[in-house]
Amino acid sequence: MKYPLPSINETKAAVLKTSLLVVAIFVVSRGVVMGFGYLGYLMTHSTAPLYHVFCQWDCGWYNSIINHGYETEPINHRHESAASWAFFPLHPLTLYYTRELLFFLGHNSDLFIVNGFLLCSLLVLYRYYKINHTTRDALFCLLLVAFSPYSVYFSVPYTESLALLLALLVFYHASVDQWVYAGLFAALLSATKVIGVLIVFPMLVIALRKYSVKSLIRLDQGTEHVVFSLILAPLGLFLYMFYLYHHVGDVFAFKNVQVAWSRQVGNPVTVLLEGLSNPFNIKFYFALITVSGLGLTAYLVKRRLYPEAILLGLGILMPLSTHLVSIPRYIFGLFPVYIAIEMMTRDQALLRYLVFAVFSASSAFIAVALTNSVVYVN
């Protein structure tokens, strides 16, 4: 993908047609994924409200933040003392204000807003990908996202759909030289997930494809917005760290509390090899997904899609340096995965049908597993 990118020249009728196609992909995919999730809910014979069945694991921490704020001291946990400091603030803040605005929906407003983020993500991804690719290829990329194995996490109160949208907005605006917008969305992303701060590295690569290092250092005309954007990118994380310092006295509380989930920074290669060493353990499955993700990263490098490769590679290596648990969800939450798969299967219709079938079946299975509290799909 070459930079700078041209604008998309489409008639209003064409824009309307493709927008309706994107909406149709969203509606059908949510019907399938959430429908199977509801089927899983019926299988549990639970009398709990449907929202609580979709609100599993991390979602409970976000509810705690919304209802009570961040703790001032750790609380008991199954491993060690834990606290909600590990969960970044933008997502629970968004859910809080959505509940206030859509009070008549109750907690179901959470499902409304995260699905809204997913729809916006699909529209932005189409806009971004259509710049240098055909409509058919862009729409297939959208199908991969909408029916991805862990697609259910885009529709439950997790950070996945918000982070996906913000990452796409950063890439799109940086690619079309709207750097102030890119910096603002990057700052929001860094307040959403810890990996959000790493978005500055793909942004830097995009900038270096447009401007020389010397021109950026000298702040030549036209580069001041780029430099401002790069400086702005980690602002969300810095503000959260400032808050933690005054709230609990530990600027790195979000990192230090990870020990409660058995996450301590180590050698990612060691973690991966350990997972691959036992094929009869669930970690072996996590390790295989990780290897596949690293393979897709290498493919993006081969295609010279360096910004996308950096985002995907860092998005894998950061969690891999601590643990294999949840890593498939993290990988499938990164949009470069779908770009790589789309490009690898281009002009191979049979292979595309096969990939789509596997994705669709997996998304249905994991949706059922989620509502049945099967912990390995977390």
The one-letter amino acid code at 290 reads T
- 211 and 138 housed in the same domain: no
pTM of the model: 0.94
Range 177-205 average pLDDT: 95
CA angle at 134 for the pair 128 and 140, rounded to the nearest 5°:
80
Q: What tokens appear for 365 in the block?
A: 């299975």
- 226 and 99 housed in the same domain: no
- 112 and 219 housed in the same domain: no
- 154 and 189 housed in the same domain: no
Chain segment 318-369, per-residue pLDDT in tens: 999 988 989 999 999 999 999 999 999 998 999 999 999 999 999 999 999 9
> Where does the pLDDT of residue 77 fall: very low under 50, low under 70, confident under 90, or very high at 90 and above?
low
Task: Give the pLDDT of residue 82.
Answer: 83
Provide the number of structural domains found in the chain.
2
- 14 and 149 housed in the same domain: yes
123 in a domain, yes or no? yes
Task: Give the pLDDT of residue 54.
Answer: 87
358 in a domain, yes or no? no
Task: Return the HEC string of 273-290.
Answer: HHHHCCCCCHHHHHHHHH
Average confidence score pLDDT of the chain: 91
Q: Which residues pair with 75 in a beta bridge?
A: 82
User: What contacts 321, CB < 8 A, 6 or more positions away?
Assistant: 265, 266, 267, 268, 271
Range scoring the smallest mean pLDDT among 10-14, 17-21, 321-325: 10-14
What is the rounded CA–CA span in Å between residue 35 and residue 176?
A: 38
Boundaries of domain holding 14: 1-158
Domain finish residue from 220, 251, 282: 251
138 in a domain, yes or no? yes
Tokens 């971004």 belong to residue: 128
- Burial (CB < 10 A; 0-12, 13-18, 19+), residue 36, is buried
Task: Give the pLDDT of residue 80.
Answer: 61
- 115 and 203 housed in the same domain: no
What is the rounded CA–CA span in Å between residue 210 and residue 120?
A: 27
Range 175-201 average pLDDT: 95
Chain segment 34-49, per-residue pLDDT in tens: 999 999 888 887 777 8
96 in a domain, yes or no? yes
Q: What tokens appear for 275 in the block?
A: 């997972």
Range 175-188 average pLDDT: 96
Tokens 């005309």 belong to residue: 221
- 199 and 89 housed in the same domain: no
172 in a domain, yes or no? no
Name the strand (E) or helix (H) holding 247.
Answer: helix 235-248
Chain segment 113-151, per-residue pLDDT in tens: 999 999 999 999 999 998 888 889 999 999 999 999 999
Domain finish residue from 96, 128, 158: 158
- 72 and 197 housed in the same domain: no
Task: Give the pLDDT of residue 9.
Answer: 56
Chain segment 281-312, per-residue pLDDT in tens: 899 999 999 999 999 999 999 999 999 999 99
| Residue in 339, 335, 307, 314 with CA at minimum distance from that of residue 206 | 307
70 in a domain, yes or no? yes
320 in a domain, yes or no? no
Whether the pLDDT of residue 1 is over 90: the answer is no
Whether the pLDDT of residue 6 is over 50: the answer is no
Task: Give the pLDDT of residue 206.
Answer: 95
Q: Where are the beta strands (DSSP E) in the chain?
A: none
Task: Give the pLDDT of residue 2.
Answer: 38
Task: Give the pLDDT of residue 189.
Answer: 98
Task: Give the pLDDT of residue 8.
Answer: 52
- C-alpha pair distances (Å), 161 with each of 14, 141, 167, 293, 298: 26, 16, 10, 19, 25
Dihedrals phi, psi of 113, to nearest 5 degrees: -75, -40
Name the range with the highest mean pLDDT among 180-189, 209-218, 270-279, 364-373: 180-189
- 16 and 135 housed in the same domain: yes
Task: Give the pLDDT of residue 221.
Answer: 85
C-alpha 310 chain-centroid distance: 14
135-146 and 336-344 helices, crossing angle to 10°: 130
- 141 and 195 housed in the same domain: no
The one-letter amino acid code at 61 reads W
- 33 and 138 housed in the same domain: yes
192 in a domain, yes or no? yes
Domain finish residue from 158, 191, 215: 158
What is the rounded CA–CA span in Å between residue 355 and residue 144?
A: 8
Whether the pLDDT of residue 15 is over 90: the answer is no
- 81 and 3 housed in the same domain: yes
What is the rounded CA–CA span in Å between residue 350 and residue 130?
A: 23
Range 238-254 average pLDDT: 95
